[in-house]
Amino acid sequence: MAYSEKVMDHFANPRNVGEIENADGVGEVGNPKCGDIMKMYLKIKDGIIEDVKFKTFGCGAAIATSSMATELIKGKTIEEALKVSNRAVMEALDGLPPVKVHCSVLAEQAIKSALSDYYRKKGIDPEPIIGKIKGCEGSCSNNTGECHSEI
C-alpha cells in the first residue's frame, strides 16, 4: 500500500490539531469497530470558518485526511465547506489506496457533523441543509476492521 508524499506529509506534520474552546460547532464521526474516530471543532464568524481544529484516533490515512479537510475549509464560507467531498479530500492528497477511501468519507462527514452542530446551536434544523450524517456506523461488515464506504 503506497501513500503519496502529501499523505505522508499530513500524517507526519498534521495541520490544525487540537480543540477549540467554546467552539461554534463540534462534530464527531466514526466507529470504534472501524478503528477511526474523527472530532472536528469550528469557530465561525459571519458565515466564515475562521478556525478549525481536529482530533483523530485512527490510522495515518485518517490523520492525513482530517488534516487536509481542515486545510480545505479554513477561511471558507459555510456553503463552500459543505461542498467539500471525500473525493476533494482524496484529490488534495494526491489519492489514497482503495482500502483507505473510508478515511476521506469520515473527513467529509466530520465537516458536516460539525456544521450540523453549529446549525442546531443556532436553533436551525440542519438536516434540510446538510442531509443525514452517515459516517462509519454499520459499514464495518467484515472482520478486518476496515470500513467499506462508497466514494
Active-site amino acid positions: 34, 103
Question: How far is it, in rounded angstroms, from Cα 2 to Cα 130?
Answer: 33
Please give the C-alpha separations between residue 16 and each of 29, 118, 138, in angstroms, as whole numbers: 18, 19, 29
